[in-house]
Amino acid sequence: MKLKYLYGAALAVLAVPAANAAPVQITGVKNIIVLINDGGGYTVYDATRLYNGAPLVTDGRDFKSTSVSTFPLRPDSSANNQPGSRAQDPTTVYSSAKFWDTRPVEGLSGVPGYTTPAAAQAGFAPLPGPLYPAGFAGYEFSRFAHPDSGNTATSIASGIKTYNNAINVDGAGEPQIAITDLIDAMKSVGKSTGVVSTVQFADATPAALGGAHNIARSNRVVIADEMFRSGKLDVIGGSGNPDFNDDGLSRTPAYTWISSALWADLKNRTNASGANGQKWTLLQEKADIDRIANRQVKPPAKLAMIVRGDNSTQFNRTNTIPGINATQDRVYGTPLKTNVPSQASLTIAALNALDQNGRGFYLMSEAGAVDRAEHANDTARMIEEMNASQDTVQAIIDWVNRADTAATWQNTLLIVTADHDHLLYGPNGDTVPFQPLKDNGPGVVPGNKWFGPNHGTGLVPLYAYGRGAAQVVASARSLDRYTDA
């Protein structure tokens, strides 16, 4: 199943036609909740189960599951308005034979982006190198054909395959050829919409699934401006706060993710920037956001939750264990920050705000720092972020089950999936192809080895719960090792 079929499934819920949608028929769905575990491939789930010594929430019997492919349109990451720029490059198409190719490849990986150590984290010693043996032909294919979150989130949002770095534009990348996305579709039938994330609110996944359109995800300030200005969103949440560092401490403002003018307007409830015409209410403090999540106060019509954090809510906090590198990290070895809301609280606050619309809603909640931990080869913090994501899944289920919400499992569809995977295998995965992680017992990080600081093109899991779950899973178009058929 390709991620683009999710777009078809969502539009089938709304009875909105889609040229590139799969022929899925789903009726009776009023609310759609999508939770994206950024980078959440199968071994991420395996690592979390092994550490916890227990099944995950998404392993429950009421979840339906399948697998989806995430390959990009082509292997480059730039707009290319040339003949054929919208055509699929066959070399990046996911292939079981190519992915599971166990022919040994000598030396280190030769794929650009996989030849240098992972990015450093505050407080950690540098990772030793050389790091990433080529291993096997399948590993090298996975590296070469990898997608990024911009193009995969675009596929989820619009049903269109595109190049890495794109935000809801097609393979040509021209802004005037901006494509229709899920937010457009939801707004066209009067639904409320929102996106929240554990990373920057205008990063690739919340940008694409929040209705932005841009030729490059790196145009962050422009994307933020569009998200606040367009009128398409009713809730925006995440990090990227100019006034706070990754430990939640005040700093000299850094306007990396939002312009100084728009930030001033949000804080002062003015509109000198021209981008705050929607009259957003800005919340930054954990207590204020938790009060909305706990239904202690009525949510505003336009809710912006920009928490005390720059790059993420929790992942980027400074390590406090002396003398270790990221691969030696311990789960919760550095205590979690106490001045930011959890992903669950952000998500439930958003749901309380969106549920005020009698016509229903669409919400995307991203566990964005699962991917950040993988880029750093920090298995421990990857598990922390997945645990937070699973807590969010349970919180969503509990919220829908409440008697005081308009949502029920007869009118609500929950989808939990990922935008891509990473190359994470067992400790001898360089000589044993696709070796499973080593079970070291509950409470201990499983034995593992990272095979890159970047993404892979392996299949990722998709879980569906509630109204239409079986139909979403039935829309899969191909089988592989990780399907449940």
The token pair at 138 is 């399948």
Q: What is the 3-state secondary structure (H, E, C) of 230-252?
A: CCCCCEEEEECCCCECCCCCECC
- CA pair distance 468, 479, nearest whole angstrom: 21
Let me know how many helices (H) and strands (E) the chain has, helices first: 14, 13
Residue 399, classed as helix, strand or coil, is helix
List of E strands, 7-164: 31-37, 64-68, 104-108, 133-136
β pairing state of 412-417 and 31-37: parallel
Torsion angle in degrees (nearest 10) through CA of 164, 166, 168, 170 = -80
> What is the structure's pLDDT at 373?
97
pLDDT at 16: 37
Are 204 and 153 within 8 A, CB to CB?
yes
SS3 315: coil
> Which of 39, 36, 32 shows the shortest CA–CA distance to 9?
32
169: left (phi over 0), alpha (psi -120 to 50) or beta: beta
| Regions in the chain scoring below 70 on pLDDT | 1-25, 176, 477-485
- What are the tokens at 221? 């300030």
Q: Is the pTM of this model over 0.75?
A: yes
Total residue count of the chain as it appears in this document: 485
CB atoms within 10 A of CB 157: 31
| Whole-number pLDDT of residue 417 | 96
CB-CB contact of 350 with 341 (8 Å) = no
Which tens digits make up the pLDDT trace of 341-384? 999 999 999 999 999 999 999 999 999 999 999 999 999 999 99
* DSSP tag of 303: E
Confidence at residue 24, expressed as pLDDT on a 0 to 100 scale: 62
| Residue 121 token pair | 């984290």
Count of CB atoms situated within 10 Å of the CB of 240: 25
Residue 321, number of CB atoms within 10 A of its CB: 13
Take residue 330 and report the two structure tokens written for it: 């311990």
Q: Residue 479's pLDDT is what?
A: 61
CB 289 within 8 A of CB 243: no
Both structure tokens of 152: 């995969």
Select from 105, 47, 49 the least CA-distant residue to 433.
105
Phi, psi values for residue 458, rounded to 5°: -65, 160
CA torsion sign for 195, 196, 201, 206 is negative
